[in-house]
């Protein structure tokens, strides 16, 4: 890979954005990410993904230089749709994706992080959507996801002023699940991933699907779907293993069967 470094630790795949100085999300970076998602989805030994940035930033946003080669509004709209489709794929990915955020996660960088299932931030991280400073707007679903996490009014303030919030404030407002000192960020994120990777892959996939469905606000339809998936999961070998392990007071060995 040219801009993404990939490694595995146990059953966790770790993606490091490495495009100094700002880890800008160029077309090539996003294509590499799409390819890695495909590979990780097909790999039965990978149960969790962690995404972080190398150097000073998580990602300071899209590669603005690419905008100078786009000539028409239709081309910009197509660029937006491609990014939206990739990030929607991440949101619906059957394996948990955790973003470990330090430094700046701005513009497209924050939109990438918001497409992950879980965000872990450093206390001094800066998260924001400053596109209005450039006379444009967020284009990778930032206007739609940010209000879900911080509320419509706070999201408007963040976008209209272009002012970021700190990692600590992001955790307080629900934009991030955990906040740590920067020197402990990746270590703590990996601890979280290790806890998750021990769970049954089929149960993980079902919970992600149900959590995404809950965002639609269709509560009673969600309950029906939960009951349906509960029945399907209960018939799996992993469910039988989990129950037996509990009765025998031992750790379960989930195989995805």
Active site residues: 111, 131
Which of 96, 3, 98, 7 minimizes the C-alpha distance to 51?
98
Alpha-carbon distance of 110 to 119, in angstroms, equals 10
In order of 191, 249, 257, the CA distances from 245 in angstroms are 23, 6, 15
Backbone angles phi, psi at 179, to 5 degrees: -135, 130
Burial of 54 (0-12, 13-18, 19+ CB in 10 A): middle
Q: Which two tokens stand for residue 109?
A: 């960088």
Residue 254 CA from chain centroid, whole number = 24
Residue 47's SS3 state is coil
Within 13 Å of residue 217, how many CA atoms lie on the same side as its CB? 1
Question: In the 8-state DSSP scheme, what is residue 206?
Answer: H
Alpha-carbon distance of 136 to 14, in angstroms, equals 32
The answer to whether the CB of 160 falls within 8 A of the CB of 117 is no
Alpha-carbon distance of 171 to 163, in angstroms, equals 17
């Amino acid at each position: 890979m040219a801009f993404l470094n990939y490694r595995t630790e146990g059953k966790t795949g770790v993606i490091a954005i490495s495009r100094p100085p700002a880890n800008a999300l160029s077309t090539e970076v996003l294509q590499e990410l799409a390819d890695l998602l495909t590979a990780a989805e097909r790999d039965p030994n990978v149960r969790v993904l962690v995404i972080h940035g190398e150097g000073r930033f998580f990602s300071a946003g899209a590669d603005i230089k690419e905008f100078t080669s786009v000539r028409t509004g239709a081309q910009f709209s197509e660029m937006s749709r491609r990014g939206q489709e990739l990030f929607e794929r991440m949101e619906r990915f059957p394996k948990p994706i955790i973003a470990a955020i330090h430094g700046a996660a701005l513009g497209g960088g924050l939109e990438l992080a918001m497409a992950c299932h879980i965000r872990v931030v450093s206390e001094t991280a800066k998260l924001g959507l400053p596109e209005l400073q450039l006379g444009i707007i967020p284009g990778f679903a930032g206007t739609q996801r940010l209000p879900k996490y911080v509320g419509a009014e706070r999201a408007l303030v963040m976008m209209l002023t272009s002012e970021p919030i700190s990692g600590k404030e992001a955790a307080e407002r629900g934009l991030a699940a955990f906040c740590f000192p920067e020197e402990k960020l990746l270590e703590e994120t990996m601890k979280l991933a290790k806890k998750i990777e021990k769970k049954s892959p089929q149960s993980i996939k079902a919970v992600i699907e149900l959590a995404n469905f809950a965002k639609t606000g269709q509560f009673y339809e969600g309950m029906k779907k939960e009951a349906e998936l509960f029945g399907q999961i209960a018939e799996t070998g992993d469910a039988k293993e989990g129950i037996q392990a509990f009765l025998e007071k031992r750790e379960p060995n989930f195989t995805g069967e």
